Amino acid sequence: MATGDSAVPHAPHSPHAEVLSSASRVLPAELDRLPPPALAELAASLGCDEASLQHFLTESCAPGLLHPPGDALPKLDERSSAEEVRMLAELYWRCSVALVQMPEGALASLARHHVDLAPFLASPEASAPERRMALVRAVLPRFAMVCTTREEAEEAERRKAEIKKLKEEAAREEEVGSAAAQTPPPQEATEPAPRSARPTGPAPRPSSPESGVLV
């Protein structure tokens, strides 16, 4: 029978469970930073009481971390490590407390830059708390930078294509330079040796053997 750590099955990693666990750690500390009057005003603006504010924020905002609204893609998924989930989740919950304190006009201005969020916003006829929380849920994943928008994904693909092109050009230049270095230099042409000068006058006549006088 196996003993020790090998006998203890490890619990499967669950990003959703870590998101909720992070909320239980971060939200109380962040909400405690607010003065009592500000905390009461915040709860009233969200349509809940102070005692249930943490639970209300957790239930309202938790889905957006792993499933952001619009055409954005989450940075976390089942393949993310527990450390990655913990770090982004804690950032997400800190940002949630900062975001819910913004005026509705400021929230609407943030959402206005992303047309894909329009279907997730409340109608103008909805109550003020409903409009506020709809804006918070829509904007929070992008405000906390826990997702990648379509524009960011397209820009990343464009940069990736540019880098690939630069690498290919550098590789071609390196191949050309390597081929040039291996090509032997051309042989220098040698000039033919100069021919000896020929006499331009008439050739001398041989001397007569009898007279010993040149003819």
pLDDT at position 5: 42
Residue 117: partners with Cβ closer than 8 Å, 6 or more residues away: 69, 70, 111, 138, 139
Alpha carbon of residue 69 to chain centroid: 20
49-58 pLDDT per residue, tens: 999 999 999 9
Q: Where are the alpha helices (DSSP H) in the chain?
A: 15-32, 36-46, 53-66, 82-100, 104-112, 128-143, 150-182
90-145 pLDDT per residue, tens: 999 999 999 999 999 999 999 998 999 999 999 999 999 999 999 999 999 999 99
* Encoded tokens for 146: 């826990």
* Encoded tokens for 70: 């619009």
**Residue of higher predicted confidence among 186 and 74:** 74
Residue 10 has pLDDT above 50, yes or no: no
**Residue of higher predicted confidence among 125 and 215:** 125
152-194 pLDDT per residue, tens: 767 766 777 778 777 877 777 777 877 777 777 666 666 665 6
* Cβ burial 127-154 (10 Å sphere, 16+ → b, else e): eebebbbbbbbbbbbbbbebbbbeeeee
| Cβ–Cβ < 8 Å for 149, 72 | yes
The three-class DSSP label of residue 56 is helix
Angstrom distance (rounded) from CA 74 to CA 94 = 18
The answer to whether the pTM exceeds 0.75 is no
Q: Cα 166–169–175 angle (5° rounding)?
A: 140
At 74, phi and psi to the nearest 5? Answer: -70, 150
pLDDT at position 4: 44
Angstrom distance (rounded) from CA 109 to CA 17 = 32
